Amino acid sequence: MKNLHQSLIDYNIVHLEAIAACRGISLTTTSHTEAVNQLTETLLAPAAVAIVLADLADPEKEALQSLLAHGGQIEALRFIRDNGPVRPMGPARLAREKPWQNPVNPTEGLWYRGLIFKAFQMTEQGGLEIIYIPTDLLTLLQTALDSPAAEVSPPVSTFEVVLAPEPVRVVSGKNRLRENIFGLLVYLQTTPVRLHQKTDLAAKDRATLTGCLLPPLLPPSRERLTPEAELDFWLHLAQRAGLLVISHGRLRPAPDQTRTWLQAHPAEQEQTLQNIWRTDPTWNDLWHVPGLAPQPTGWENSPLLARSRILDYLSQLAPSPENWYSLDDFVASIKQLDPDFQRPTGDYHSWYILDEQGRSLMGFENWDRVEGALIRYLVSQILLVLGVVDLGLPDETSAPTAFRITGSGAAFLAGRPASALADQKPRFLQASQNFTVLVPAQASLYDRFQLARFAELDSRHHERVSYQITQASVGRAMRNGVTADQIVAFLGRATNNRTPLKVVETLRDWGARRSTAKIERATLLHLSDEALVAELSQHPDLSPLLGKVIGPKTILLPADNVQEVRRILAELGYLENQD
């Protein structure tokens, strides 16, 4: 960054005279070079710095302190947004109106005192205009502001969110992540679902898959996640995790990755998918916020940047079952401390975002409707279904007003491995004599996946899931190559050898009955004389094609051989050609 001399040299003589007049300095020359040298020497005197600081109004002191807190430079858009712009004036108007005598905002007050300057800086986003304090002046200001005489209050630099009272209603997303991903894997394993136009689901398949999800946690509202939007999130997450793949136009589970995930501990299953979302640059949260309609006009935002900043602020809150935090205060604290968390350049005029009525949401005045809505969406929608937070509601129908961080959420936010939570061993399945199998919440999903191959889902509750074994469901499994002995062996292991004897004997009985009856299509060959039965049965070409003799003058013909027998009989003259 430039020093004071390099900064002043870019100004014309009228601007230099304006700074001199504002600081009570009498220039002794009209030479531009000499004026720059004289101002540089005078403005860098410690006494001059002390005088100018004492002369600042409180808003000007706060603006200067904020700039110092950012290391002496900040994006111009952000600084101007907070402190106002410098009115553009040419040399003649500047000399005529003398704006330094009555600055209209803190920026002008600092500008005409020669304390701040503008410059362009190249960044990853391109050319960026910044406001800065010259390097040599910065050192003097930092030293002066350490003195009590400066009387400049330090800026708010800590992140604090007030605690909220215990809510009337608590909404928990516990086990929702595992349950919904599992439901999709089971359905897509057993039912062919083909993609429409290579990437989209047909309306019928989309409706069926939505039905595989748990019911919505919150009452319907235009600001809340719809079942269809939640389905899109789960499908995207499962594909990013490698659990779902597209093979020959069909969406189906990836065998190896699915087996690995299903066999993991419940805490590890949950954290694996939480971390997939945390590091996924392809899911743009801003473009999924209900009520916002971003328009693809060339601007870009970084979902990873916004996501990481919000998660970082959440990680600063103390997780505890008793610690409920105000959602409004969480949003307000971020707005106060870090309003540009997703806009590094502080640019609020190039992101083309509309509301549901098609009205533009440009400008910092729409921060609450864009940035604020994004924060609320992540906390009350995405982090809820991921099991990171619980929500608190004042009644049964109102919007969430508070949240708390769950145990698994605290581990996720802190980056602690899920193994720290994996101290509880998965529980066994419970089979009863009425052929119902209860699956506890912490049971192995791999066992449940195997159970779903030969049992029907009956009901789902918060702490357990119920399946029903039926003759039809077992028959379906057997048609897919599963044997009764395999089912009995699985239940023995999954229930810790507590499968009722009645269930075991019935399953084996169903297996023994299988293939004991057979239905086939056939045709009857009727002959006019009993002697023809023996005659045709001894013919070398016909004999292999004929079935059983079922009467004195009747032979059973397998359906597949009818046409060939008809041809041969016609050639031998036994049958008129009926073609």
Within-domain flag for 436: yes
Q: Are residues 133 and 199 in the same domain?
A: no
pLDDT at 7 over 60: yes
Q: Are residues 197 and 333 in the same domain?
A: yes
Sign of CA dihedral 63, 66, 70, 76: negative
Give the containing element (helix H, strand E) for 231.
Answer: helix 227-240
Within-domain flag for 30: yes
* DSSP 8-state symbol, 380: I
Lowest mean pLDDT segment, chosen from 49-53, 192-196, 419-423, 480-484? 419-423
Backbone angles phi, psi at 75, to 5 degrees: -60, 135
Label residue 270 exposed, middle or buried (CB < 10 Å: 0-12, 13-18, 19+): buried
* Of the residues 513, 543, 562, the one at which a domain ends: 513
> 291 — alpha (psi -120 to 50), left (phi > 0) or beta?
left
CA pair distance 245, 288, nearest whole angstrom: 23
Within-domain flag for 159: no
> 71 — alpha (psi -120 to 50), left (phi > 0) or beta?
left
Q: In this structure, what token pair is assigned to residue 318?
A: 């103390």
Please, what is the Cα angle at 345 between 122 and 112, to 5 degrees?
A: 85
Q: In this structure, what token pair is assigned to residue 155?
A: 């800026």
Within-domain flag for 164: no
Find residue 250's DSSP bridge partners.
Answer: 194, 247
pLDDT tens-digit series, residues 198-237: 568 888 888 999 998 988 888 777 667 789 999 999 999 9
Within-domain flag for 452: yes
Cβ atoms < 10 Å from Cβ of 281: 10
pLDDT at 567 over 50: yes
Residue 302 belongs to domain spanning: 169-420
3-state SS, residue 414: helix
Q: Are residues 240 and 119 in the same domain?
A: no
Q: Are residues 134 and 230 in the same domain?
A: no
Q: Are residues 528 and 503 in the same domain?
A: no
Q: Are residues 189 and 278 in the same domain?
A: yes
Within-domain flag for 408: yes
Quick one: pLDDT band at residue 417, thresholds 50, 70, 90?
confident
Within-domain flag for 579: no
* Of the residues 390, 420, 450, the one at which a domain ends: 420
Q: Are residues 307 and 408 in the same domain?
A: yes
Q: Are residues 16 and 121 in the same domain?
A: yes
How many domains does the chain contain in total?
Answer: 4
Q: Are residues 351 and 205 in the same domain?
A: yes
pLDDT tens-digit series, residues 324-368: 999 999 999 999 888 999 998 788 888 999 998 999 999 899 999
Q: Are residues 303 and 270 in the same domain?
A: yes
Whether the CB-CB separation of 124 and 149 falls below 8 Å is answered with no
pLDDT tens-digit series, residues 69-105: 888 998 888 898 889 999 998 889 998 999 999 999 9
Q: Are residues 409 and 451 in the same domain?
A: no
Q: Are residues 527 and 498 in the same domain?
A: no
Give the containing element (helix H, strand E) for 263.
Answer: helix 255-263
Within-domain flag for 155: no
pLDDT tens-digit series, residues 130-144: 899 999 999 899 888
* Of the residues 352, 387, 420, the one at which a domain ends: 420
CA pair distance 477, 190, nearest whole angstrom: 10
For the ranges 162-166, 514-518, 535-539, the one whose mean pLDDT is highest: 162-166
Sign of CA dihedral 511, 512, 515, 519: negative
